[in-house]
Amino acid sequence: MWTTRPAQFVSSLFANASVTPSATERQAATDEFGSAEFNRAFVLMECFADLRRDPNSLPDADYTGYDFWLTKLNQFNGNFVNAEMVKAFISSTEYRQRFGAN
């Protein structure tokens, strides 16, 4: 379980590396371990769990779908319910065909 806040984790990383970051660098690193990282992992997990494939595997063949859902999830500040993300995945034709539904 993640018990360290992103800002604390980033501060520890910089301290252990003996690096003094600028405010911009510190914020960028903190953002990577905050909701931005969670959102990327969540969308990837939905692809693996619901669609049973990599986000760049056919029928997409690129990351267009992944990028779409990541952008939408970010727009809703990580709220996948309001973004209707899970709803869209489990009502998709691709998901439903796994269970013999059209």
pLDDT tens column, 54-95? 888 888 888 999 999 999 999 998 898 999 998 998 999 988
How confident is the model over 5-26, as a mean pLDDT? Answer: 84
Distance CA 23, CA 89 (A): 38
Q: Using one digit for the tens of pLDDT, what is the confidence trace for 40-58?
A: 888 998 988 888 888 888 8
The answer to whether the beta carbons of residues 97 and 90 sit under 8 Å apart is no
Q: Tell me, what's the pLDDT at 41?
A: 85
Average pLDDT, the chain: 85
CA 48, chain centre distance (Å): 12
pTM: 0.65
Judged by DSSP in three states, 97 sits in helix
